[in-house]
Amino acid sequence: MVDAYVVDTGVFLRWFIDQDGFEHARELQQKLIDGSVAVETVDFARVEVAGVLRKKGLLAGRLTVEEFTAAVRVIDDIGVTVHETTADRLERAAAMAARKNLGMYDALFVQLAGELDLPLLTTDGRLRRAAEGSVSIEVLRGIKKPNPV
């Protein structure tokens, strides 16, 4: 495992929901807590994680209200470095989205990984294929299908 990653929403979700790859995601989380790896992400990941955790965690009965409300803070509380989506980053991501046929959310993660010269850790095999050649992208171990979340 490398010293630092840009991490997308699907990885964060597996800190709380047992889906394919959750073991690797929780290993990364523990290494972040231990200080042996750095994790970076884009600011909108907080909102995206909260929205999916509400649906797949709280409303599905996998998380209590208390667990859900605590979970929405975890990205900040355990030391993930969160990068603002500035107008310049958004513009660069839009250009990448157009060139690579990526969704804007995916393009922002890829753009940040390129800007920071870090590998992107994702759960999305399709993103890996679409962004090939732009940045180093690793798919979480244990992912059996190419769906993002």
Query: What was the pLDDT predicted at 149?
Result: 47
Report residue 35 CA to chain centroid gap.
18
Looking at the predicted structure, is the pLDDT value of residue 107 above 50?
yes
Higher-scoring residue by pLDDT: 104, 145: 104
- pLDDT tens-digit series, residues 48-103: 999 999 999 999 999 999 999 999 999 999 999 999 999 999 999 999 999 999 99
Query: What was the pLDDT predicted at 129?
Result: 84
Torsion sign, CA atoms 15, 20, 21, 27 = positive
Closest alpha carbon to 15 in 149, 108, 138, 131: 149
Looking at the predicted structure, is the pLDDT value of residue 40 above 80?
yes
Reading the block at residue 141, the tokens are 């171990």
Query: What was the pLDDT predicted at 88?
Result: 97
Q: For every residue of the chain, which 3-state class applies, written as one string?
A: CCCEEEECHHHHHCCCCCCCCHHHHHHHHHHHHHCCCEEEEECCHHHHHHHHHHHHHHCCCCCCHHHHHHHCCHHHHCCCEEECCCHHHHHHHHHHHHHHCCCHHHHHHHHHHHHHCCCEEECCHHHHHHCCCCCCEEECCCCCCCCCC
Looking at the predicted structure, is the pLDDT value of residue 122 above 90?
yes
Model pTM? 0.91
